Amino acid sequence: MAKKAEELKEFLRTRRDAVRPSQAGLANHPGRRVPGLRREEVAQLAGVSVDYYTRLEQGRLTSASEGVILSIAEALRLTQAETQYLRDLLRPQPRQAVREPAPRQEVRPDLLRILDGMHDQPAFVLGRRNEVLASNALLDALLTPFGQRAADDRNLLRWLLLDPAARDLYLDWAKVTSEVVGVLRAEAGRYPHDALTARFVDELKAASPEFRTWWAERTVVERTWGTKRFNHPTVGRLDITYEALTLPGDPDQVLFIYAGKSDADLDKLRILASWSTHRTDQNPADTPPPGRPGSRP
């Protein structure tokens, strides 16, 4: 409970510091000592007492009604993902939280066949903690051959942070990677007692100064859709659009589908697919089917 209270305290403080008085319709008087909102201003905007909000931000209250959560979210201008994170932090917990291991994640065989049949579109399935549960050949050619990596080395965020090739590949590496850190933050809020998530966070804190900085900012991101820009060593500049689709039956599995942003980008993906197929045909023994075995812890 102490860890949850501390996270609630830091999250509310960082979100309060991020809102400028002018954004909330408040006057920014000369000599103001804080760039963000004061606690009493958040309380006023949310329609709660100063004492109540202070106790909430200090972690002395660890639950709240939905109405209060939404009022505070509006006052702090929280995104949808940040509002859900606040809900997760204020979700009532049993006196002794059950720490059962999360069930093993498996990608359905039919979905694996669908991935393999997508020849012009890179696609992959992400699980908890950004594990690449399955990927098709074109995704492996675009990013890195996750399908050929060891079972414990298929994590998208670890690759983004620690592989120099990822920094060279993404033209907006910092933006992309910090957003994936925000996705991990959202997951940590949904599963606050997941030991593997806590261990993974500690691993990345020790290995990456960028991760330490972004994690401390407590930005929360949800997977939706967007664009990404690459400088690929084979086809050069490549822009893609993507959609993130939560899979029915397992909300912890998300299917990502990439597509060329323009006709020229689509042509480059086809070139990359042809190159990937030729390479596989030349070295079939060295290139196992991508994304297998289709399960992760």
Beta carbons within 10 angstroms of residue 243's beta carbon: 14
pLDDT in tens, 84-119: 999 999 887 655 545 555 667 888 899 999 999 998
CATH of domain 105-296: 3.30.450.180
Matching CATH topology for 2-89 and 105-296? no
Q: Which residue is listed with tokens 């991020």?
A: 18
- Other CB atoms within 10 A of residue 282 CB: 9
**CATH fold group of domain 2-89:** 434 Repressor (Amino-terminal Domain) (1.10.260)
- 284-295 pLDDT tens trace: 444 444 343 343
Residue 270 CB neighbours (<10 A)? 15
Do 74 and 82 touch, CB atoms closer than 8 A? Answer: no
Query: pTM value?
Result: 0.83
Question: CA angle, corner 109, sides to 103 and 111, nearest 5?
Answer: 95
Confidence (pLDDT) at 292: 39
Pair of tokens at residue 205? 């804190």
**Cα–Cα distances in angstroms (integers) from residue 210 to residues 177, 203, 214, in the given order:** 9, 13, 6
Give every CB contact of residue 147 below 8 A, 6+ residues apart in sequence: 135, 137, 140, 288, 289, 290, 291, 292
21 DSSP assignment: G
The residue extents of the domains of the chain are: 2-89, 105-296
- 169, amino acid identity: L
Which residues in the chain show pLDDT less than 50?
97, 284-297
